[in-house]
């Protein structure tokens, strides 16, 4: 099997693989060559040795398709090169930090919270950003056991880094605790102090994605472009993207249907270069996503984010 593209965007060059991990909403273009006639099965399997890269995320275990191959063999080589990507999907890893025009956090909390709130209707935009700008965003998952597939509409993003996770740990209260088990100062919109103990034991089994094998199934190779990515439990991922030419609303959500349907979604707005980005609801209850105690985590995001400072 030779990988050609993910989510409709070509990889740098074709490469061979034994398996492809496709999160909910993800797509993959894979070239397959069967060397002889016969019946072949495309199988989805749960791989316990890959669990550290996805957490306790359910994986379908069974046959996806049966392929019948017949006739005389045909000589056909796999492609060795791919079409060039458009300019808005070129490598942004070397893009100057000083020219980044938006730094924001998307935080998966205890289901169904995204950026500390359930989805609100109407012109309630969590972030605003301008067309023609390069954005650097941070995807974080406070869930201690389950991964969440981050899916964004309109613009694909490039995976830049897997970072050390310093953020809160979600409980079923629902409430946020720090990694020592103490109740956070910053909480969810629906936080009920009467339901949340001051100290609890926290599960840090899945902490440490910045040091684990990048070859695991759930990790996206650095530099690849996607519109969907599995954010492992207790993980932090840096992505970059260019907001090309399309203004309007842009939906971001967890692509587990039973999560997004109960509110794990949010809406952002892309505006023209001359339009204001004031009025975004960056915080929830005055608290920034990804934080636990004041100025402990993500101070650079709060300070530098155009959405948060205007």
pLDDT tens string 78-131: 999 999 999 999 999 999 999 999 999 999 999 999 999 999 999 999 999 999
Q: Name which of 16-20, 154-158, 241-245, 267-271 the model is least confident about.
A: 16-20
Q: Supply the pLDDT for residue 269.
A: 98
Res. 214 pLDDT band, cuts 50 70 90: confident
Q: Where are the alpha helices (DSSP H) in 219-265?
A: 257-260
Q: In what order do the strands lie in the sheet with 2-6?
A: 9-16, 2-6, 28-31
Cis peptide before 195 (omega within 30 of 0): no
* Neighbouring residues of 105: CB distance < 8 A, sequence distance ≥ 6: 115, 137, 138, 139, 140, 288, 289, 290, 298, 301
Averaged confidence pLDDT in the chain: 92
Which whole-number Å values give the CA distances from 246 to 89, 194, 243, 277, in the listed order?
15, 45, 7, 15
Contact, 148 vs 230, CB < 8 A? yes
Q: Supply the pLDDT for residue 46.
A: 87
* Neighbouring residues of 164: CB distance < 8 A, sequence distance ≥ 6: 210, 236
Q: Return d(Cα 74, Cα 215) in angstroms, integer.
A: 33
The answer to whether residue 278 scores a pLDDT higher than 60 is yes
Q: Domains, the chain, ranges and CATH?
A: 2-69 (no CATH), 100-305 (2.60.40.420)
Q: Return d(Cα 160, Cα 217) in angstroms, integer.
A: 17
The answer to whether residue 47 scores a pLDDT higher than 70 is yes
The answer to whether residue 223 scores a pLDDT higher than 90 is yes
Q: Return d(Cα 202, Cα 199) in angstroms, integer.
A: 9
Res. 215 pLDDT band, cuts 50 70 90: confident
The secondary structure of 83-105 as a DSSP string is PPPPGGGS--TTS-GGG---EEE
The answer to whether residue 58 scores a pLDDT higher than 90 is no
Q: Give bridge partners of residue 238 from the DSSP assignment.
A: 138, 161
pLDDT tens for each residue of 133-146: 999 999 999 999 99
Contact, 154 vs 123, CB < 8 A? no
Is the overall model pTM greater than 0.75, yes or no?
A: yes
The answer to whether residue 293 scores a pLDDT higher than 90 is no
Residue whose tokens read 């199988």: 43
């Amino acid at each position: 099997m030779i990988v050609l593209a993910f989510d409709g965007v070509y990889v740098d060059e074709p490469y061979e693989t034994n398996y492809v991990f496709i999160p909910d909403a993800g797509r993959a273009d894979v070239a397959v060559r069967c060397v002889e006639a016969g019946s072949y099965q495309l199988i989805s399997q749960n791989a316990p040795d890959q669990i550290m890269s996805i957490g306790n995320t359910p994986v379908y275990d069974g046959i996806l398709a049966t392929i019948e191959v017949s006739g005389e063999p045909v000589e056909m080589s796999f492609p060795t090169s791919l079409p060039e990507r458009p300019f808005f999907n070129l490598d942004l890893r070397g893009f100057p930090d000083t020219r980044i025009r938006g730094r924001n956090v998307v935080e998966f909390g205890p289901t169904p919270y995204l950026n500390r709130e359930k989805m609100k209707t109407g012109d309630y935009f969590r972030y605003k950003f301008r067309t023609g700008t390069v954005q650097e965003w941070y995807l974080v998952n406070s869930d201690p056991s389950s991964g969440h597939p981050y899916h964004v509409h309109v613009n694909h993003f490039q995976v830049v880094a897997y970072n050390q996770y310093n953020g809160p740990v979600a409980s079923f209260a629902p409430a946020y605790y720090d990694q020592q088990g103490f109740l956070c100062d910053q909480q969810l919109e629906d936080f009920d102090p009467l339901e949340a103990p001051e100290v609890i034991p926290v599960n840090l089994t899945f902490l440490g994605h910045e040091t684990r094998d990048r070859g695991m199934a759930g990790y996206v190779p650095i530099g690849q472009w996607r519109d969907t990515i599995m954010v492992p439990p207790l993980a932090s991922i840096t992505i970059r993207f260019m907001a090309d030419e399309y203004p309007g609303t842009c939906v971001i959500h967890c692509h587990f249907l039973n999560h997004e349907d109960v509110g794990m979604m949010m809406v952002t707005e892309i505006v023209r270069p001359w339009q204001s980005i004031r009025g975004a609801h960056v915080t929830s209850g005055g608290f920034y996503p990804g934080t636990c105690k004041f100025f402990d985590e993500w101070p650079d995001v709060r300070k530098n984010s155009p959405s948060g400072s205007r």
